[in-house]
Amino acid sequence: MVKNIKTALSLMAAVLPALFFSQDRMQMTAGEVAALAVENHQQLKVSARNIDIAKQNTDIVRLQKLPNITASTSQFYLGNAIALDKDFSSSVNVPMPHYGSSYAVQANQLIFKGGLVNKSIEMAGLREQLSELDLEKNTQDVKFLVISNYLDMYKTVNQQEVFQNNKKLAQERLKNVQKFYQQGMVTRNEVIRGELAIKNLDQGILTLFNNRKILNYNLNTALGLPADTEIVPVEKLENKEAGIGMDYYISLAHESNPLMKSARTNIEVADKNIEIIKTDKMPTVAGFGGYTLQKPITTRNPVLDMYSGGWQTGVSLSYNIDNLYKTKERVKLGEIQKDQAGEVLTLTAQNIDMAVNAAYVKYQESIQQADILDDARKLAEENYRITEAKYLNQLAVQAEMIDAQNQKLQSELDYSNAEINMLYQYYNLLKSTGTL
């Protein structure tokens, strides 16, 4: 019974990938994954709405150029009036028409306020730029996130291949051990060791299969693909632009990183804010006009139950005298905020320089690390072949053979991971420059 269960588990480990990945297959490079994420990722759709909001706010600010027009009406009950002597000794009741109504249309148009409206529109335009830069930054983050998941899945695919190849070798070795056992050349525990080695490999294959399943689902969600789509990584593993120096990447980051662009734009925002504050020093000139219609006419006696209409137009001039001393302090605050924006730009540049430097060094390290691990892999394979030959000639025991296989397996896994790590560090370097 136990043997049957073990056999079933082994078969399950072998057929699980075929069962799960029986759906549509899509071969994709990292660039294709990133492009699809930009098109479909929900986070970017949310960020894009912020741009729409900023643009709508700009349209609203532009409406300040249009006149303000109001229309009003009132319907009221008018009581009788009382006429009193100067010494309040006697009074006369004056009958009034009791129903009254009024209608009015008024319009106001700002003519001059030191360019306040135009400067407000320009400020709204800068807010639009900031929202677009936020989307650009979020796009970089989303691209790197999906590429990281893509590379993690690529890693599991390579690791599965390594485990499957080593399992085939272990199965061949087990057949030889079983022959030796049948010939009485080895004991039963040698066979058990071989079977246990295969079970350990099956366990690793099962874990990798489930990890790939999780990563595949997450990528499908991020890319807007059907949940049962199998993504097959096909990114080339060779070095990418390994010879370009760090100065190039730092210069590229200063030009392209959205954080640097945002920091520069915030300085422009601070400048524009100071200009807007200074408009308070200017008088307000506005044009106005209107028409009113009202009854009854109460400006004569007896009162007439008739409408009286009239229109007016003109120019108004106003100035808040307290702005002579209040505006100076507000301008000072704006200048402090501008100085702070300049310091933020310097800090942002320093942080980006450090990020680019670290990413560049790690990328170069990943290339060197892959070369080292490739040599280690070749040595482990040579050691495995030598030990296998000794074992087949009864010059080595099963424990030595398993140890050689474990070294071979680990070195192959390390090299496979190192290849993927080169890609990861390269894309991390691009993200640090804002050009992913």
Measured CA distances, 143 to 91, 102, 127, 132, 167 (Å): 88, 64, 24, 16, 36
In angstroms, the CA 193 to CA 98 distance is 112
* Residue 244 placed within a domain: yes
Tokens of 380: 């482990």
Beta bridge partners of 107: 69, 289
Q: How confident is the model at residue 49 (pLDDT cuts 50, 70, 90)?
A: very high
| Continuous H helices in 183-292 | 188-223, 246-256, 258-278
Q: How confident is the model at residue 23 (pLDDT cuts 50, 70, 90)?
A: low
* Residue 54 placed within a domain: no
Average pLDDT over residues 112-117: 87
Q: Is the pLDDT of residue 436 over 50?
A: yes
151 phi and psi angles, rounded to 5 deg: -70, -35
Q: Is the pLDDT of residue 20 over 50?
A: no
- Domain with residue 260: its CATH number is 1.20.1600.10
In angstroms, the CA 182 to CA 193 distance is 16
Count of alpha carbons within 13 Å of 296, Cβ hemisphere only? Answer: 18
**Residues contacting residue 192 through CB under 8 Å, at least 6 positions apart:** none
* Residue 70 placed within a domain: no
* Residue 23 placed within a domain: no
Q: Tens of pLDDT along 79-92?
A: 888 888 888 888 88
Q: How confident is the model at residue 242 (pLDDT cuts 50, 70, 90)?
A: low
* Residue 339 placed within a domain: yes
Tokens of 33: 């994954």
Q: Which domain holds residue 333?
A: 238-282+322-436
In angstroms, the CA 150 to CA 235 distance is 10
Domain count within the chain = 1
Q: Tens of pLDDT along 155-193?
A: 999 999 989 988 998 898 888 888 888 888 777 888 888
Q: How confident is the model at residue 214 (pLDDT cuts 50, 70, 90)?
A: very high
Type of residue numbered 141: D
225 phi and psi angles, rounded to 5 deg: -100, 160
Per the CB < 8 A criterion, the answer to whether 240 and 339 are in contact is no
Residue 83, Cβ density class (10 Å: 0-12 exposed, 13-18 middle, ≥19 buried) = exposed
Average pLDDT over residues 413-422: 91
Per the CB < 8 A criterion, the answer to whether 351 and 254 are in contact is no
Q: Tens of pLDDT along 294-309?
A: 998 888 778 888 889 8
418: nearest Cα among 362, 337, 359: 362
Average pLDDT over residues 347-361: 95
Place of tokens 């082994």: 10
* Residue 293 placed within a domain: no
Where does residue 72 fall: left (phi above 0), alpha (psi -120 to 50 degrees), or beta otherwise? Answer: beta
pLDDT at 326: 86
In angstroms, the CA 333 to CA 33 distance is 47
Q: Compare 10 and 388 and report the one with higher pLDDT.
A: 388
Q: How far is CA 101 from the centre of its chain?
A: 59
* Residue 270 placed within a domain: yes
* Residue 43 placed within a domain: no
Burial 274-285 (b: 16+ CB within 10 A, else e): bbbbbbbeeebe
Mean pLDDT, all residues of the chain: 88
Count of alpha carbons within 13 Å of 360, Cβ hemisphere only? Answer: 19
